[in-house]
Amino acid sequence: MLARERVAVVDHAPTLAELTPGRTGNLSVRRGDRFAATPTGVPYDEFDPADVPVVSLDGEVVAGDMKPTSEVPMHTGIYRRLDAGAIVHTHSTWATTLAVLGEELPPIHYMITAVGRKVPVADYAPYGTDDLAELVVEEMEAADSKACILAHHGLVVTGDDLASAVENTFVVENLCRVYLQARQHGTPAELSEDQLATVEEKFRSYGQ
């Protein structure tokens, strides 16, 4: 069940060690009405595909030898309401710095269009709860963004697949760093809506 997706989770999970301290991050990838997710409380390089939990969009574990991430409500909430093929959740340093400030990431660099025109911030709610999931999904929908900062918590980012979700996470984390460092020297300028629209149009023909 979801064999390719479970292998993808195993392959990409070690990347979380570059983005989040300890075992506090998680990721998942969806196919149809189910998704494969990282197991909870396990080092990112110490599980194999058979261990990887498979979860329904109702939150029911339907396969796997280990329990899934505690953030299943957030993953299911995003998959049910947003166009996402994969999810990465981290407590990465720079995004979490904005999270404890309770601030969004504005469009200070054109690469923000990888996820939208800004990265909104969702109000705080305890981790692993339906309340948190609802707050996150509402902010992502309102901002038409593939990413959201979680107040006093961290960051969640989506993509069409795990590779793009991971790449988007690194993009957002880097932009959070640039934004916070730029603020030490003045007020960062923001791109206009017209400028962002031009970038979005150019990105439609970017790559091979």
Active site amino acids: 71
Whole-number Å distance between alpha carbons of 184 and 144: 29
C-beta of residue 9 within 8 angstroms of C-beta of residue 68 = no
Work out the angle at residue 104's Cα, subtended by the Cα atoms of residues 103 and 108, and round it to the nearest 5 degrees.
Answer: 120
Burial class (CB in 10 A: 0-12, 13-18, 19+), 194: exposed
b/e 158-177 (16+ beta carbons within 10 angstroms → b):
bbebbebbbbbbbbbbebbb
Burial class (CB in 10 A: 0-12, 13-18, 19+), 67: middle
The count of C-alpha atoms lying within 13 angstroms of the C-alpha of 163, restricted to the half-sphere facing its C-beta, is 1
Which residues, other chains included, contact 114 with Cβ-Cβ below 8 Å and sequence gap of 6+? 146, 167, 168, 171, 172, 203
